[in-house]
Amino acid sequence: MRTYHIETLDEIFRKSVQEYIDSLAKPVGSLGKLEGVARKIATIQNTLRPELKNPHHLLFIADHGIADEGTSPSPKEITWQQAINITQNGAGINIFTTQHDFKLLIVDAGTDYDFPQDLGIIDRKIRKGTRNFLHEAALTFDEVETALTYGEEIVSLAAQNNCNIVSIGELGIGNTSVASIWMSLLTNIPLEQCVGAGSGSSEGFTLRKYEILQQSVNRYTGPLTPMTIMSEFGGLEMIMAVGAMLRAAELKMTILIDGFLMSNSLLMASHINPEVEQYAIFSHKSEEKGHSLLLEYLGVEPLLHLNFYLGEGTGAVCAYPLIASSVRMMNQMKSFEESRISNIPSL
């Protein structure tokens, strides 16, 4: 695995940004989370006049061998069918990327289907779905390395379009199984607390899913490193997202983190290089069972709680207007001195 060179953000400048925000014509802290978002983006860009350029949404899609064990009530073919629906502007993510003027890049990371070449899906297929990790490693080390590299390449493609903010989403029946295992192994939170129903709903279904995933974890007795976890229990779309996040941070992009799946990809990326977290903004808390615990573990409070569990990165794109508002605050709001208003004390 290559070394990612991610710059540590300047703490002295961050304090200068905070002082500037506190000088604006409002009670200190009165714009709550928006002030934290503004501080982060300004610090990433090292300017008191940050700007958001050409936002891109990266949607990685793939299938999972573990789905053969019935860990999802939805059939595997939903992955490729929904992917085609997205190319036809028929999905939730299309509504929000169009509304907020995101460039949507759809990437076939490993779908068990051959897409027609004229759909506009970027072909980075490594294999037609992962192996069934109940019985064997999902991926080889070489396949993991390739997935990370492809994720980096997609971000570099966005950067060539003068993009400095990316959101990342996923599509793949069975991928909450991957996320649950990653979360448990990387945080030491018991797997049972990390496993939710995914697209299912019944308590009995969730229990069966947990039992299958626990058997899968028990199968592997080797060392637990980012590489071994991604190899043994990986999902190609999630690994490409990991590579994308690490590369975006190298390029000093702001990264919008979606729900349970992408929070776990960020968790994995942070185990490869902890500095990546400095470039991440958590968009929303999803309804997936383990997400609240994971956010608490990471010590972050996302912008929104809209009871989403759709995936595709919808929550991240929906949060974008608030992020844009925070940048407008930095650029358009006058200071007390400029406004000739007496300083208003904080509450």
The catalytic residues are 312
Contact 260, 288 (CB under 8 A): yes
Contact 238, 133 (CB under 8 A): no
In the block, tokens 């027609």 appear at: 116
Who contacts 115 (Cβ-Cβ below 8 Å, separation ≥6)? 80, 83, 84, 108, 121, 123
- CA proximity to 288, closest of 307, 273, 270, 271: 307
Distance CA 118, CA 56 (A): 21
Distance CA 235, CA 61 (A): 10
In the block, tokens 């506009």 appear at: 120
The letter for the amino acid at 94 is: N
Q: Report the first-to-last Cα separation within the chain, whole angstroms.
A: 49
94-to-101, 106, 196, 312 alpha-carbon distances in Å = 10, 11, 26, 10
Distance CA 196, CA 75 (A): 18
Which pair of structure tokens corresponds to residue 290? 């383990």
90-to-62, 123, 305, 314, 328 alpha-carbon distances in Å = 19, 21, 24, 13, 31
Number of CB atoms found within 10 A of residue 114's CB: 11
Q: What is the DSSP string of 37-68?
A: HHHHHHHHHTSSS----S-EEEEEEE--GGGG
DSSP classification of residue 279: G
